[in-house]
Structure 1
């Protein structure tokens, strides 16, 4: 199943409906077309109330590829960094907790991009990549593209990393990061209270299996 976040709303893809999703779905579509994508985007942007959309299709991968073709795609990568005490590294950007991440540069692998972004945004070195985690997807409007075609679908590839050093994290203030903090599992409610719904979904899915 694919899951995309946009302005707090969720668009999901699947070959069948899970009963547990019923109360969270506003509308179900059985095909993907330009008109359907426009309808979903318009509905989300016309209200501040989060909605849930489900695209039901037996050819899930085909439907997903068609959906992606309606957007400008920007690849990104980031790190879920764990220290020797079992705490995890978070940045606060523009008042919101997040994980260090950024755009994958040309001729750069996602893994190398993820390590570079953590190093740049947090001022750490000596990171050790353990494995790749599930990607997250979100949509946003880019001010750098023509308005009629400025919807971006960003896939962020995430990597679990270990850090065993004793450097003091340094926030990259030129990227609007003003705090870098280690959080234990017991303290993650502080993160959840001031972060994105996509990150909460990612963490609650990823942390139990690492």
Structure 2
């Protein structure tokens, strides 16, 4: 995302629509600066990503599961000394943000088997004292989440399968009942309908001649 720099009115001399646009840019940058400061704080609690459209768009990247790079541009001109100082402060706060990017996996049977094999190998290394227990707890938590997602997906599949089977049985029952009705009418020798007499005048003439 290429962000515009701070729009200082005393430098730009903007008026009208340009002035309104500059004010919105400054507000978005201020909100982004607050979010970055909160993400880099050791005692962070709730992050207000919804305070601006910019931070809402950047939320997936700033939340942690991404490889993120921030490039800050500054000028050596004394005219923009205050802007340069603010930019460097922002860059210093951004350096404190820690992310843990992970590859998003499709939770099918093969990926589950690979995950379990990885856990088994890690457990063996932990038994030999080669791995920190903190890593084991983190992997166990991820495995529990993966199993929960897989379980819900399996339950959804079973429900869909049952609905399809029940729908097929219902159609089969209706077809069977319809065939039974037709068979009972033929066996009972019910008189032809008005439509049948109208469509077969030749048969009626033969009966009259006989």
TM over 0.5, yes or no? no
- Identify the structure with the greater helix proportion: 2
Question: Which protein has greater RCO, CA pairs closer than 8 Å, 6+ apart?
Answer: 1
- Identify the structure with the greater strand proportion: 1
TM-score, normalising length from structure 1? Answer: 0.25
Structure of greater Rg: 2
